[in-house]
Amino acid sequence: MPLDIDQYALLADSRTGALVGADGSIDWLCVPRFDAASVFGALLGDADHGRWLLAPVGDARLVSRAYDGDTFTLETVWATDDGVARVTDVMPVGDGSHVVRRIEGVSGRVVMRHELRVRFDYAEALPWVRQGDDGLVAVAGPDALVVRGLLWQADGFSHEAIVSVTAGERVDTVLSWFPSYAAPPATLDVEAALRTTRDWWADWAAGSSSTGLVRRSLLVLRALSNIDTGGIVAAATTSLPEDFGGSRNWDYRFVWLRDAALAIEELLAAGFTEEAAEWRDWLIRAVAGDPADVQIMYGVAGERRLTEWVADSLPGYRGSAPVRIGNAAFTQTQVDVFGEVLRALGLARDAGLVEDDLSWPLEVELLTHLETIWQQPDRGIWEIRGPARHFVHSRAMAWAAFDAGIRGIDSGRRGPRARWALVRDAIRASILADGVAPGGWFRQHDETDEVDASLLVLPMIGFCAADDPIMLATVERIEQTLVVDGLVRRYRTESGVDGVEGGENAFLACSFWLVQQYARSGRADDAQQLFDRLSALANDVGLLAEQYDSGAGRAAGNVPQALSHLTLVAAARALAS
């Protein structure tokens, strides 16, 4: 059975990542990209669905586990009755897809055991495995792995290796993925790879003066960004449940325009303009063509068909089924994404990012299309699978899109300012006419008096002041109906608005939005207290999942979640200002 979600650490090479548990087992790995099929899938099943365990033989205790400085190189110290050993796990940055597991003796003698179970294609393909002079090679269909550094013993459909180390001894094992039709990659120079990887992460992190969880959160955003394409995935995993035992399990290993744009806002605020340029280039490639065909999400390289299907070969995290691959939301209309994208592009411009011949024309085309659709119902920020609605948040983000376009014209670009100003004012009027409940608060959509945590962003985009009476009434209503055990839910699933069975837990991003609202409306003490509580939900290496089950005291949803980390950074900025 997989560990609790918060017991996993991320290894990352800026193309993909692995989740390694506090028990020493790599239970999730997709290569060569986050959205590729899994090689190790025990996270969504058990050991038979693929894993790579490395732990002491017999009784042992975990002494410590931490990243090596500003990297995703994980150092784990184990102690037994006979000695102490350190395991260093790293996915080197550079060419290829590799996982390095280094064992070092610290004191005495420690016997360590490797257990390797390779299961390609979401545990659908059991590989042929052979051991030769070049290592252990596993092949199935288009995928192959070579594992070098050890002699393995077959045990049914798994392989085992025993390693004994004393103080000062070191044993390296390297797993490398390659296409099965190609020759195995050259043997990795481990020392050079570790050094290069550490320097790469350290050089990147040096661009920010942030500390603590804010610094780690920025690093997570970089880890979820593809070094080749510029796409930023929403999370490293698929189908970790929002509702344990239920069906609210989604694949987040794709690039949402919204989440990526919000990540870029925080990276820009922290001084990382190169990432903004890479994402802008990705965006221009991804949405090329008719603006009417713009999707809310794409693959890592801009792929458009993200067809959702169920991987029956994986039973789900602790039985939470189905395991979904792909995401049907790619076909949805979500008007709010235009606002997040146009705001991010405007902030990049304000930060001094030089525009090319395509970026401003893209903004003009997007706004021209938005003029024709902003009055239509949509599926909203939460990607409901029930009927489309006139969501107030979507309308407000459409307002923000035109506001960003007008600011672009005011800074020297050419465009129909007067026309866009009329549309912006019309959107505002429609929200104030139809988006305010009789009780005086902004409502989720025009057919309900329910509130929605996404309404907390209205002051952040400049639609209203944080202390506007309607906004304060909205916050009060959110506190009354959406706050459970001090944390914020997205909306009341009991209302049936999303068309999905079951409930869900507190949503961390929404709770960080409430921190920002408190900070900007004169409730500094409340803001700090909530921020401190949320920060305490990060695991031992500083990672946050999507949600938190306060009743059971456990993380829920996919991990690490870009939206949780970027809203932590934004909340810290709000507190600092």
Please confirm whether the linkage preceding 32 is cis (ω < 30° from 0): yes
Spatial separation of the C-alpha atoms in residues 338 and 367, rounded to whole Å:
8
Q: Do 474 and 482 contact (CB within 8 A), yes or no?
A: no
Tokens representing 331 are 């076909």
pLDDT at 28 (0 to 100): 98
**Mean predicted confidence (pLDDT) in 322-351:** 94
Q: Where residue 501 falls among pLDDT bands split at 50, 70, 90?
A: confident
- CATH 2.70.98.40 at 5-198, yes or no: yes
**For the chain, what percent of residues have pLDDT higher than 90?**
93
- Quote the pTM value: 0.97
Mean pLDDT calculated for residue range 405-414: 95
448 and 408 Cβ atoms separated by less than 8 Å: no
pLDDT > 90? residue 288: no
Asked if pLDDT for residue 246 goes beyond 90, the answer is: no
Q: Mean pLDDT throughout 301-309?
A: 97
Q: Render the burial of 204-242: b for 16+ CB within 10 Å, e for the rest.
A: bbebbebeebbbbbbbbbbbbbbeebbbbbbbbbbbbbb
Model pLDDT, residue 560? 98
Q: Which pair of structure tokens corresponds to residue 236?
A: 């490293």
Query: What CATH number has the domain spanning 207-576?
Result: 1.50.10.10
Dihedral sign, Cα of residue 481, residue 488, residue 441, residue 425: negative
Q: Mean pLDDT across the stretch 264-278?
A: 92
- E strand spans, 157-237: 158-166, 170-179
Q: What are the residues whose beta carbons fall under 8 Å from the beta carbon of 331, sequence distance 6 or more?
A: 295
- For residue 263, the 8-state DSSP code is H
pLDDT for 491: 95
Average pLDDT on 305-316 reads 97
Instruction: Note the pLDDT of residue 97.
Output: 97
Q: Does 78 have pLDDT greater than 90? A: yes
pLDDT at 356 over 90: no
Average pLDDT over every residue of 77-104: 97
Per domain, the residue ranges of the chain are 5-198, 207-576
User: So what's the pLDDT on residue 504?
Assistant: 85
User: Is the pLDDT assigned to residue 502 strictly greater than 90?
Assistant: no
What integer pLDDT is reported at residue 41 of this predicted model?
98
Task: List, for residues 172-182, the tens digit of each pLDDT value.
Answer: 999 999 999 99
Region 28-42: mean pLDDT is 98
Mean pLDDT, range 150-159, rounded to an integer: 95
Average pLDDT over residues 110-117: 98
User: How far apart (Å, rounded) are the C-alpha atoms in residues 53 and 116?
Assistant: 7
Spatial separation of the C-alpha atoms in residues 204 and 192, rounded to whole Å: 18
Residue 145: predicted pLDDT: 98
Per the prediction, the chain carries an average pLDDT of 96
Residue 312's pLDDT is: 97
- In this structure, the strands spanning 324-325 and 483-484 are unpaired
496 has a pLDDT exceeding 90 = no
The answer to whether the CB of 233 falls within 8 A of the CB of 303 is: no
Spatial CB neighbours of 106, under 8 Å, sequence gap ≥ 6: 77, 83, 84, 85, 86, 167
Confidence of residue 358 (pLDDT cuts 50, 70, 90): confident
Q: Does 69 have pLDDT greater than 90?
A: yes
Indicate whether 376 pLDDT > 90: yes
**Over the Cα atoms of the chain, what is R_g?**
24
Tell me how far apart the alpha carbons of residues 64 and 60 are, in angstroms, rounded to a whole number. Answer: 12
**434 vs 375: CA distance, rounded Å:** 12
User: What torsion, rounded to 10 degrees, do the Cα atoms 45, 47, 52, 57 define?
Assistant: 140
Q: Please give the average per-residue pLDDT across 550-575, as a whole number.
A: 97
Predicted pLDDT at 236:
98
